[in-house]
Copies of this chain bind each other. A is one copy, B any other.
């Protein structure tokens, strides 16, 4: 069984990605980050999902204490009630400097150490195209970097980043996940990280749109 490192945030995209990798037959190791995000609640969701999937996880703390993002700074305003078309314009204030680059680098270190040749990330370029580090060109360039910058790459066994959700709509993601048994009732999307989803932040609104497109109720809301 080939090993893969899965970046698991606790949101619905990364949970679906984990189940896709499992479905492809990978022996998955989940990597969960505590980077001082406002929505720390997602970390508990990530652990729960890893346990339910039957794979081991590693939790890593990173002190990104340079808060210039609405996701890190508890006092910063958060975009609310935006139409999804509006979300596509410009880089949102929830952008965390170099976040995916940091996450993928650490995943690459872990992958190389455990002999995994795949890193799965639930990035999505369609619904939320404002993040520069969620685009095809970014992942293509990163794959080149892993080829020239790791011992594995130099030895012809390069580590590759897999982005199965990149061009899927939220509805397609959810339908795919439901067919594989992703436990969406335990995923967490809200950026605010309160007791209940705020239903106003970009992440909540995209989730809502996804379940509507998929034609099913959000089991997280039913669970309450």
Contact = CB atoms under 8 A, between A and B. Distances in A.
20 contacts: A60-B63, A61-B61, A62-B106, A67-B113, A68-B112, A96-B109, A97-B109, A97-B110, A97-B150, A97-B151, A98-B105, A98-B146, A98-B149, A98-B150, A101-B105, A101-B145, A102-B105, A132-B149, A132-B150, A142-B145
Interface residues of A, number: 43
Nearest to A113: B66
A149 B142 contact: yes
A99 interface: yes
Contacts of A133: 149-150
A62 B151 CA distance: 20
Q: How many copies does the complex hold?
A: 2
What DSSP secondary structure best describes chain A's contact surface?
Answer: helix
B106 A102 contact: yes
